[in-house]
Structure 1
Amino acid sequence: MAMRVITGSARGRRLKELEGMETRPTTDRVKEGLFSALQFEIEGRRVLDLFAGTGQLGIEALSRGAERCVFVDRRADAVKLIRENLELTGLSGRARVVAGDSMEYLASLREKFDLILLDPPYAAGLLEPALEHIAQFDILRPHGIIAAEAPAEKALPPLAEPYRLCRTYRYGRIGLTVYRRAGELENEGSAT
């Protein structure tokens, strides 16, 4: 089944895929669910696609009007493929591709994002540490969103304030958990 961009400026464009089992592309069903849940919160936003793989999630966000997206993956073949997919979709001008370890990237980050997409290899045990790093380094802007994909049977942990776990959607064997960061004023008034 070919990966395609679902909606937006690059709608219908086929994306190249990585060989091998280490990269497990998000299914169209999950991708459609994710972007319908976030549809009004993408345009003009800054996106981080961590563990980017093929880059399809960040590319979908750019296609739907995100201002820019940073793609991070440690595999050289993935980084090359992300660049190729950005060229294919005509979205390279609003993207930056980082070759390197996602955790090291989070620790060295000096910018904040509105939307962070997390879809690490399930067996790698990277999802919880990534969530903890994001909250610890507080790299989401006020009202920002984290969308994390994991096996449906896996319950993801709550995060410290000002982050909160909002909802988990289930798509067959895959779960999609959405976290939100409170706004600045909400934090000051949250002592109740």
Structure 2
Amino acid sequence: MRITAGTLKGMQLHTPKNSSVRPTTDKVRQAVFSSLFDETEGAEVLDLCAGTGAFGFEALSRGAASAVLIDLSTDIIKKNALALNLNPRIIKGDIRKEIPRLNKAFDIIFIDPPYGLFDPQEIMSLIHESGVLKPEGTLIFEESTRTAFPAEPEHFKVLKEKKYGETAIYYLKRMQI
């Protein structure tokens, strides 16, 4: 795995030696950031279920102003931050407990939960209720193509859905009241 563009393009990312983390491939990550166009420049980014931190680090490489990365295990994230000479805020904990504690809104939220272990609607409701996504912000939700993702999620509108093998990427915006 590597950073695909920006100031850190080509830098390698450490990955776990076991299967505890399923990192998003470089190809899929590059496609996601291409779809975001210039939204990343100056953005405040939240990477939930961050795993290796690849989405957060890629965003920083592409000009994001800041990144917060949350995962149950942060050893690999910290190792990558050190190797990339970056200092994002890294939080070790369950996203269901940490999201309400953030007291901050983000421009872009990436979420790549372990496939099948989280109910997508539950996570989106938590994001909505906690106010961590700015009104014009973008939510990028990665899930397995085998998971039942809500066709019309509460509080969000699916703008686009892309499939890459077994991986589905959903681009969502908050519903305006």
TM-score bin (small chain): over 0.9
Q: Deviations over 1:26-75 (max 9, x none)?
A: 01221111111112110101000000111011100000000000000112
Q: Given that residues 135 and 159 in structure 1 are in contact (C-alpha distance below 8 angstroms), is that contact kept between their aligned partners in structure 2? A: no
User: Is contact 1:10-1:90 (8 Å) kept?
Assistant: no
Structure 1 CA distance for aligned equivalents of residues 124 and 78 of structure 2: 26
**One-letter amino acid matched to 2:137:** G
Residue type of the partner of 2:86?
L
Does residue 149 (structure 1) correspond to residue 142 (structure 2)? The answer is yes
Shift of 1:167: 1.1
Task: Give the TM-score, by structure 1 length.
Answer: 0.86
**2:58 corresponding residue in structure 1:** 60
Look up the equivalent residue of 2:131 and give its one-letter code: D
- The 1-side partners of 2:55 and 2:45 are apart by 10
* 2:98 maps to amino acid: Y
- Structure number with the higher helix fraction is 1
1:160 is matched with 154
**Deviating 4+ runs (over 4 angstroms):** none
Bigger Rg, which one:
1
Runs of 5+ unmatched residues, structure 2? none
Report the equivalent of 2:82.
87
| TM-score calculated relative to the size of structure 2 | 0.92
Shift of 1:86: 1.3
Query: Aligned equivalents of 1:171 and 1:103: distance in 2?
Result: 27
Paired residue for 1:190? none
Aligned residues: 176
Residue 122 of structure 1 corresponds to 115
The two structures, once aligned, show a CA RMSD in angstroms of 1.5
Task: Please list, as runs of the form range in 1=range in 2, the aligned pairs for 1:96-107 lying within 5 A after superposition.
Answer: 96-107=89-100
Q: Would you say the 8 A contact 2:121–2:154 is kept in 1?
A: no
Identical residues among aligned pairs (%): 34
- The gaps in structure 1 that reach 5 residues or longer are 188-192
